[in-house]
Structure 1
């Protein structure tokens, strides 16, 4: 049976980290919310699935994944589940927890990126918190982004198996997620990330290596890869972007 991925149509968001793993592994999956209503898919099908789980450990929000009767919520949790099945996790059990910890750190970074344009409330429009967003974005670019990327750079540099991968000596879902992080930051903050490769050479080299993997390159060139836009997590508002030292 095909995996069923439930995430909002029209934006990459947190669901994209799961899509990248499924696409790299050439797994059979259905992006439910993007399907046709006539086929029993679409946003309505996703909402119905959420409602039907009211008495059986319902997910808090998308993304969530169905594998037969099993339902797995939360991005890092989904990837922890899929990793071994898709040959995108270390074989060593201890390193699988390392990978999971790195993925949860990526989740933390994604939340901070979101808060650069919605620092007060997700329920408010960006225009309603624009002043506060400028202050939050400035702090993110000056302090938080370097802290996270510096950490990932250090993890790569200190990998006993070499700096080609975040964990172990083979591709994992964490590498794919680092690719998405770099892509998203470059879209949202082109000025601030102009010299990213100079400051974080291992991180950017990993990004570049993932981008040319045959399955990923084919996915990026296909209509399945949604473009970044101003409804997702990584948003480009020129007034929030500025060059950093």
Structure 2
């Protein structure tokens, strides 16, 4: 039985971190909200789960994954559940190191989101442009480098070598790090212009993940939606670093 992935249609969002893991593992799954013409699919099916009055442990928001009768919510929690089953996380205690990195990635993703919605998620970006510009400037000057230096150091200090964040083989944290780097390049191309020289290990990780056969096939497919201005990583030129 294929997994059922529930996330909003039309954007990558936080669901993309789960998709990358499923695609790399070649795990069969159905992207429920994208199947608008199929019975039991479409965004109405997603909303029905969120509004259920009988389903125990209803998720607060997508993404969530259905594995038979089990519903697993929250991106990092889904990956913690799925990782060991498909060889994307160690089965020993190092799985908690992977999970910790994924939670740190989630913190970074939240800060990226807040660059364009610093006041309220329920308001349009156009309603908070001035505070967004101030928030983005601080993020690019301080927060983004702090996070990226940490992940670069994590690669450098991995006892098994600097090709992966944890251990000697690919984990879902590597896939998620790839997604973050791709998103930062999309949202802040000027601020990311010298990324490879500042963070050579992260740049190498990005290149290696993109070259993996299953990931490369996914990136070239219609299943990989492009970044856009409804997702987490949004390109507003006025929020990027100044042009040099």
Alignment of 1:81-160 (within 5 A): 81-92=81-92, 94-160=93-159
Secondary structure, in 3 states, of the residue corresponding to 1:48?
A: helix
1:152 and 1:207, CA in 2 relative to 1: closer, same or farther beyond 3 A? same
Equivalence for 2:48: 48
Q: Does 1:33 align with 2:62?
A: no
Instruction: State the shift of 1:90 in Å.
Output: 1.4
Equivalents in 2 of 1:124, 1:52: separation in Å? 27
Q: Does 1:211 align with 2:229?
A: no
Instruction: State the shift of 1:53 in Å.
Output: 5.4
Instruction: State the shift of 1:141 in Å.
Output: 0.1
Instruction: State the shift of 1:217 in Å.
Output: 0.3
TM-score of the superposed pair, with normalisation by structure 1: 0.97
TM-score of the superposed pair, with normalisation by structure 2: 0.98
Q: What stretches of structure 1 move > 3 A for 4+ residues in a row? A: none
Q: Where do 5+ consecutive residues of structure 2 fail to align?
A: none
Alignment of 1:139-218 (within 5 A): 139-218=138-217
1:13 and 1:154, CA in 2 relative to 1: closer, same or farther beyond 3 A? same
1:123 and 1:162, CA in 2 relative to 1: closer, same or farther beyond 3 A? same
For residues 114-146 of structure 1, the C-alpha deviation after alignment (integer angstroms, 9 at most, x for no partner) is 000000000000000000000000000000000
Q: Where do 5+ consecutive residues of structure 1 fail to align?
A: none
Equivalents in 1 of 2:50, 2:117: separation in Å? 25
Equivalents in 2 of 1:121, 1:187: separation in Å? 23
Aligned CA-pair RMSD: 1.3
Equivalents in 2 of 1:55, 1:153: separation in Å? 42
Number of aligned residues: 244
Equivalence for 1:23: 23
